[in-house]
Amino acid sequence: MRRWNGWGDEQFNLELPAQGQSFLAERVGSGKPLTDASLESVCEKVPDTRLPADASVDELIDTSPETRVRHARGQSLPDWLAMRSGEFGVFPDGVARPHSSMEVQKLLQYARASNVELIPYGGGTSVAGHITPLASNRPVLTVDMGGMNRLIDLDRESQIATFGAGTPGPLVESQLRAHGYTLGHFPQSFELSTIGGWVASRSSGQQSLRYGRIEQLFAGGRVETLQGTLDLPTIPASSAGPDIREMILGSEGRVGLITEVKVRVTRLPEHESFHVVFFPDWDSARNACRSLVQNRTQLSMLRLSNAMETETQLALAGHPHLIGMLEKVLSLRGADDGKCMMTFGLTGSKHQCSSVRQEAKRICSQYKGIYTGTRLGKKWAEKRFTMPYLREALWQMGYAVDTLETATDWDNVDNLLGLMETSLREGLQARKESRNERAHVFTHLSHFYGQGCSIYTTYVFRVADSYDETLARWQHLKNTTSELIVRNRGTISHQHGVGKDHAPFLPVEKGELGMLAIRSLCQTFDPDGILNPKTLIE
Amino acid sequence: MRRWNGWGDEQFNLELPAQGQSFLAERVGSGKPLTDASLESVCEKVPDTRLPADASVDELIDTSPETRVRHARGQSLPDWLAMRSGEFGVFPDGVARPHSSMEVQKLLQYARASNVELIPYGGGTSVAGHITPLASNRPVLTVDMGGMNRLIDLDRESQIATFGAGTPGPLVESQLRAHGYTLGHFPQSFELSTIGGWVASRSSGQQSLRYGRIEQLFAGGRVETLQGTLDLPTIPASSAGPDIREMILGSEGRVGLITEVKVRVTRLPEHESFHVVFFPDWDSARNACRSLVQNRTQLSMLRLSNAMETETQLALAGHPHLIGMLEKVLSLRGADDGKCMMTFGLTGSKHQCSSVRQEAKRICSQYKGIYTGTRLGKKWAEKRFTMPYLREALWQMGYAVDTLETATDWDNVDNLLGLMETSLREGLQARKESRNERAHVFTHLSHFYGQGCSIYTTYVFRVADSYDETLARWQHLKNTTSELIVRNRGTISHQHGVGKDHAPFLPVEKGELGMLAIRSLCQTFDPDGILNPKTLIE
């Protein structure tokens, strides 16, 4: 069963190897876990529902405390602290689970008639507060799209698949795989996040180099709005005015509820493999990545860990003997302290992959890259969706972990990366309550474009003696660093969306007139602001 | 000097070989040209300007008749008929030529204060009526962006170039080439159309397979609006809400005037070549194209002529002896009547091109393709921008030529192509005034996507005894076929935009709520509707 207060399935636990524990203790000190609240105790706090009864929708709505608890939060660190402490603050007044577009229409009519706020809910994996209800005078109804989780149609000729918007990643891929196809969209939240959520939040997957971001995969579909049904026809490309799809991508529930998603799919590849290359230093490694992507070398995936992430990953990997041998070999070949690990993916026909592998190796070696084959790459692929489970393991040891991510142009990557890491590494010391605390901070680049790349920074710090102080520490790090990002040519999010957590930072990025355009779009479709209020736009 | 009443430079004339003339005469009869009006006679018809004097902008504005004549029309067939007959109907009241964003701001302030309509003008190459002024109670000022035609900045690391919006294709490429870069955007209008016009109308170039459409190339820039300056920051990719760039792409002057365009550029390729393959029949040829693109074979360009276009191109090519030999060889190898010509492009590193050539040839041969090397491909590349001059040659012989283009999913390509060709081929006979007239109709596919492709249909017909009847014939063909396109899952334009000519057909494609979104966007930025009225939205 799914964890009610953390990530993923209760049955699955990741253990941190002893070596990893001592590595962390050296860097930020030993952790002391906080006490978790029980599900029962939280359910007792759930107030009576304020939803007015309505025969047209009553059968769709569940107002039981446990369901409302399980839909009250996403996976951001504040969500996590709320779930662990049991201090949720606000619960939705009920959870609807529609099974068709028509039922979604009914819910919209009900919401308008009864002045109810609606929060669309996909996989509940938001790390930016998209689905967290805020205190409101209006009742709040969360709409869980999980009942609409089927492959509705597959057009093999046009390679377009139609899915119910609530279909989670594994069901997307397994239903396509049965026909020999793949979507190829693999965000880290893949196990739980849904295809509708990907569209609503402009998601990006680990193999976006080949398959594109969700913007490139989303071919059309159906959105239920308060003004009626918005049908987005599938057209390969068009110059007929602004693209309405692009107004739905990233609309985060403010325009309407996405019920059907049509996506561009691909035949399952003949070959796929992941390869690891080590570089002696960051400059060489980063330049190799830039060269690969600006050369249009057709990799399916590319990821570059900086020296601290490389060191951390090797320390946390277990198998100290094997890793020791690897490091010895690398050291002999010139990659010692400061070495950076690159992983690249090859996907396609055997002919394509063989040609691209040659080219990628040649470019890497121009930048002093040491090619180590597919062994570590295979490990990466096996564990690619398990990293969120590490948060649980760290939590049990008294550590909080969170990430900040952005994207910026190449000329600004090092500058922004440096600012972010410094801000996170030194931020705790700026508050007197955490003057002696340190954060362990490391970064990788994981989505590459000719113009620039994403920057994904992880930070680990000890939980404080209380939940409140732990939250305050996080809030300080998050706010100061987010402000730095948008003031320094970064986007407030490359792949997690805006939600409520990032909404205060959006105006710097979009500018006054950009915000005017977005606000006008939302108001046109939802003049009373009952759809996911305070999300995207404060 | 530029032709005032047709395409391109007066010095350049394309001649139709004798063989081509008889080919056309056989198909639609001999043509009898209409009489052209002179520039002088048209200038005499230009009324006094209605623009109120204003010291802040007077120096920017030219109200001389010739300038107003030269900015009154684009390159659609109705534009052409107006220019040739001298019956323009409406002229702009003046033409402004700003040299900076600040001067554009002044023009906007003037327009608002004096209730003047503004029409942004790039290269004047619209084939959909974007820049044609309509009769209005308000004075109309055309804003020619041609004064802003420089490379302002080139960031080599991020591969982003900043251009003045009025920079025409050749100046975009020559200014980049001097630094070793290319944009790679080559619409057929390349010689005259501008980078700002490409953005405003969502243009696509012949090598979009490699470089992407303008949507993928446009990284940001500056738009002057009636609400102030909209700055679009360059960010490689973002999940931070709807993308404002996408609201400007295709906005056709309704949101504001684009003054600076930042584009993603690429190092000049090590290798480029174009190759021609013949297929014995349409099914094999179309399937080969679909297979190539769905296999992600990294071609830079792909174009497939149907049998009639192949026959027409070979007939119009001249060199009957050489063509005869080619056809003999093809016939021996199985490609006779009904053969279809494919041209594909390779662009990139030598290694990439060599690998892709192998793969492309292998896939083509699976579909009975006969590879003929680069000789015809080279011809195509040499003549790629000269086709519009053919219109002039045909006009002199008494023929009118126009094109209709769309894009649709693969499962609908043959259906829609058939409907369009039949509608154009048989349309003239449906009107009693042209019952005995025929149109010569042929088609190519030229922009390919996993999901589908563009369809580009050319039709040639004899001009009537009068301009009015010629226009009526065109109007009939255009309207009935456009209606068919949008009723049958095609976009009203894949690469020409909406303008005024396609505006009546847009609502079918976008739907009621799609139109609501676009209308609301325009009204937010231009509540009084003074920017390019009736364009995009009727």
The mean per-residue pLDDT over the stretch B125-149 comes to 97
pLDDT for A17 equals: 85
Distance from CA of A225 to the nearest CA of B (A): 9
pLDDT for A317 equals: 82
- Per-residue pLDDT tens digits for B446-461: 999 999 999 999 999 9
Distance CA B105, CA B108 (A): 5
pLDDT for A149 equals: 97
Looking at this predicted complex, what is its ipTM? 0.97
Chain B within 8 Å of A219 (Cβ-Cβ)?
Answer: yes
Closest in B239, B252, B349 to A295, CB measured: B349
Stretch among A17-26, A368-377, B191-200 having the lowest mean pLDDT:
A17-26
Q: Which residues of A touch B232 (CB under 8 A)?
A: 514
Give CA angle at B301 (B296, B304), nearest 5°: 95
DSSP state of B448: B
- Asked if A239 lies within 8 A of B447 by C-beta distance, the reply is no
Average of per-residue pLDDT values in chain A: 97
Q: Which residues of B, range 476-505, sit inside 8 Å of A by Cβ? A: 489-498, 502
Pairing of strands B117-121, B151-155: unpaired
Distance CA B529, CA A426 (A): 52
pLDDT for B254 equals: 98
The mean per-residue pLDDT over the stretch B110-114 comes to 98
Q: What residue of B is the nearest CA neighbor of A263?
A: B451
β-strand partners of A223: A230, A258
Q: Which residues of B touch A496 (CB under 8 A)?
A: 239
- Looking at the domain covering A271-384, what would its CATH class be? alpha beta
pLDDT for A153 equals: 98
Q: Between the CA of residue B292 and those of A44, A534, B246, what are the distances in Å?
A: 60, 46, 29
Confidence of residue A14 (pLDDT cuts 50, 70, 90): confident
Give CA angle at B434 (B429, B435), nearest 5°: 45
pLDDT for B127 equals: 97
* pLDDT(B17) > 90: no
Chain B within 8 Å of A135 (Cβ-Cβ)?
Answer: no
pLDDT for A320 equals: 85
pLDDT for A19 equals: 86
Distance CA A124, CA B459 (A): 54
In one-letter notation, the amino acid at residue A370 is I
The 10 Å Cβ neighbour count of residue A229 is 17
CATH for B151-267 is: 3.30.465.10
Chain A within 8 Å of B411 (Cβ-Cβ)?
Answer: yes
Could you tell me which of B230, B262, B526 has the C-alpha nearest to residue A512?
B230
* pLDDT(B318) > 90: no
Chain A within 8 Å of B454 (Cβ-Cβ)?
Answer: yes
Q: Which fold has domain B271-382?
A: Alpha-Beta Plaits (3.30.70)
Distance CA A142, CA B479 (A): 47
Share of chain A above pLDDT 90, in %: 94
Confidence of residue A341 (pLDDT cuts 50, 70, 90): very high
The 10 Å Cβ neighbour count of residue B410 is 25
Closest in B240, B409, B452 to A498, CB measured: B240
- Asked if B494 lies within 8 A of A450 by C-beta distance, the reply is no
Closest in B204, B489, B517 to A247, CB measured: B517
Stretch among A254-268, A401-415, B238-252, B388-402 having the lowest mean pLDDT:
B388-402
Average of per-residue pLDDT values in chain B: 97
- Asked if A517 lies within 8 A of B524 by C-beta distance, the reply is yes
Distance CA B489, CA B44 (A): 46
- Per-residue pLDDT tens digits for A354-371: 999 999 999 999 999 999
* pLDDT(A6) > 90: yes
Closest in B213, B240, B524 to A237, CB measured: B213
In one-letter notation, the amino acid at residue B256 is G
- Per-residue pLDDT tens digits for A135-189: 999 999 999 999 999 999 999 999 999 999 999 999 999 999 999 999 999 999 9
pLDDT for A102 equals: 98
Q: Which residues of A touch B520 (CB under 8 A)?
A: 520-521, 524
* pLDDT(B19) > 90: no
Confidence of residue A459 (pLDDT cuts 50, 70, 90): very high
- Per-residue pLDDT tens digits for B480-529: 999 999 999 999 999 999 999 999 999 999 999 999 999 999 999 999 99
Q: Which fold has domain B36-147?
A: 3.30.43
Q: Between the CA of residue B395 and those of A511, B398, B400, B441, what are the distances in Å?
A: 50, 5, 6, 17
Q: Between the CA of residue B503 and those of A7, A119, A530, what are the distances in Å?
A: 50, 36, 33
- Per-residue pLDDT tens digits for A384-427: 888 888 899 999 999 999 999 999 999 999 999 999 999 999 99
- Asked if B494 lies within 8 A of A352 by C-beta distance, the reply is no
Q: Which residues of A touch B355 (CB under 8 A)?
A: 351-352, 355
Contact A250, A241 (CB under 8 A): no
pLDDT for B316 equals: 86
pLDDT for B16 equals: 85
Q: Where are the domains of chain B?
A: 36-147, 151-267, 271-382, 388-497
The mean per-residue pLDDT over the stretch A270-281 comes to 98
Dihedral, CA of residue B442, residue B446, residue B447 and residue B453, to nearest 10: 40
* pLDDT(B13) > 90: no
Calculate the CA B457 to chain-centre distance: 13
The mean per-residue pLDDT over the stretch A466-482 comes to 97
Q: Helix (H, G, I), strand (E, B), or coil: what is residue A342?
A: strand
DSSP state of A363: H
CATH for B388-497 is: 3.30.300.330
- Per-residue pLDDT tens digits for B327-367: 999 999 999 999 999 999 999 999 999 999 999 999 999 99
Half-sphere exposure of B317 (CA within 13 A, CB side): 19
Q: Which residues of B touch A408 (CB under 8 A)?
A: 235-236
